[in-house]
Chains A and B, each alone.
Chain A
Amino acid sequence: MAMETTKLSIQNLNLWFGKQKILNNINIDIPENKVTVILGPSGCGKTTLMKTMNRLVDLQGGARTSGKIILDGEDILNTRRDIALVRQKMGLLSQRPTPLPMSIFNNVAYGLRLKGIRGRKKLTPLVEKHLIEANLWDEVRDRLHDPASRLSIGQQQRLCLARGLAVDPEIILADEPTSALDPISASVIENQFFKLKENYTILLVTHIMRQARRIADKVVFMYLGEVIEQADVHEFFNNPKQKMTRDYLQGAFY
């Protein structure tokens, strides 16, 4: 296997909501330009972990953390920098598509404008580029100024992907991005991830084992706020070390 560089490193991360401990001593290295899948049953802390990485967890009152999350040599959990700038390094794709209440064009242009890019002339080619990148351009080129809510759910999710890519992130955080989609839209998104990992580091949360097997390079298995096992995808599925992992893979508990 080729040399891996670590893009994002989570070190001794703990997280409490009030008195309840949600994440317990998490240590994960996320390799650059790979798809890392966080696998685990519902309620195991996958989503919280993801929201900690781009600090959206700050918004939920009463969250307290300890440990480090290191991105490009900077501990983003305790940084003094404007958190909005850290968030722009990571594109977020959530469970259900979240089109902003504006036109298709403006949805993609939103992040660009936030980065200070103004004017139709500059925005138009960039919007086109990212819609192509998200495999949506051909379907919307004639109605860029329609409200985004008129798109189908699958198209909306690809729009959200385009919107996320437009801020030029280094990492894509995807939280069960296909769970609300039909199988065809889901496979479009999955195929997109294959292409995108050439340029981006992808972190995908899912509870679907087959999806993990299809697109993961590395798998992290979580249960009740703890990392049980993490390994290369072949290693993980063919030769799991932990008993709990084996049980989960055989569907013994959910």
Chain B
Amino acid sequence: MALCNYYRKRKLMDNLVGWWIRLMVFLVVALPLFITASLLSKSWLILGHISLPELLFSSVWRPLAGEFGFWPFIISSLWVTFIGLSLTAPVCLLSAIFLTYYGSRRLLGFMQPIIDILAGIPSVIYGVWGILVIVPAVGKYLAPMLGYESPGFSIMAGGIVLSVMLIPFVLNILIEIFRTVQHDLLDASLSLGASKWQTIKHVVLRKSFAGMISAFGLGLSRAFGETIAVLMVVGNVVGVPENLFQPGYPLPALIANNYGEMLSIPMFDSALMFAALLLMVVVVVFNMISRRTIIYLESRQ
């Protein structure tokens, strides 16, 4: 009798836990859908008034006149992200190779907490550092050296600050990926007479190619959405920048700078929500593309 009771209790517990888990999983799945839906519903107004191509590709941004062209913001975001990632990529790749295959284990042990600290620094501090160091460096040295004039606050400054912020993030993932390459595989290559670099080039990099794509894909999503630090150094001037040493105005900065203000202007609120939706869509698409690439590459190996 007592045993029967025990079994009934156990069954009940099983069911309860099962439903609890299902609820939590549902929440996790529903949340992004819910966010997308609310962004979509808010930007519905502007989508009804202005056609999508015009919203995306027009460069005219005159909220008071009811003209909302997002091209300046989109192009600024793309440039900042591109510069950030292309400066980060070689640094991270080479340091990750060095730390996993050339440096001593002690060096890696010493570096790992430093990388973690870098990753933990609040982005506003990177922004302040950018204003103090990068902005003058770009304005006074880098731009004149390359024959441009620049106020310092520019796409380039945003990209450089962003690249520094991405380093710990991407580097950590790359180190993890390189460490998972089995030792047997390295031994096999070396025993065939390959040098260390040949082994890294032909075996390690090839074996971790899918992982590298995902690391950079994650970096890309993060770079595209990074707000505060970029906002502080990028200049925030509306307009398609003539060159990379001119100020720009990326999408996240647009939202952060303007939301809650000027809401009396018709459709302005809706326009900002559209910017947020755009940001969300781009990041999701980036993620999906890199995921597909990884699956494809892994099936090729």
Contact = CB atoms under 8 A, between A and B. Distances in A.
Contact of A84 (B193, B300, B301): B193
A110 B194 CA distance: 9
Nearest to B205: A101
A172 to B, nearest CB: 11
A249 interface: no
Contacts of B192: 87-88, 91, 110-111, 114, 163-164, 167
B188 A92 contact: yes
A61 B104 contact: yes
A87 B191 contact: yes
B180 to A, nearest CB: 13
Chain B contact-residue range equals: 20 to 34
A101 B207 contact: yes
Given A61-B105, A100-B202, A90 B185 contact: no
Interface string A85-106: 1011011101110101110000
B193 A98 contact: no
Interface in B215-262: none
Given A101-B301, A147-B300, A84 B195 contact: yes
A252 B198 CA distance: 47
Nearest to A166: B192
Chain A contact-residue range equals: 20 to 34
A206 interface: no
B194 A147 contact: no
B190 interface: yes
Contact of B193 (A51, A56, A100, A115): A115
A169 to B, nearest CB: 9
Contacts of B188: 92, 94, 98, 100, 160, 163
Contact of B182 (A51, A54, A98, A111): A98
A147 to B, nearest CB: 5
Interface string B264-301: 00000000000000000000000000000000000011
Contacts of B207: 101
Contacts of B184: 94-96, 98
A149 interface: yes
A149 B300 CA distance: 9
A164 B206 CA distance: 20
B206 A102 contact: yes
Interface of B: 104-105, 182, 184-195, 198, 202-203, 206-207, 300-301
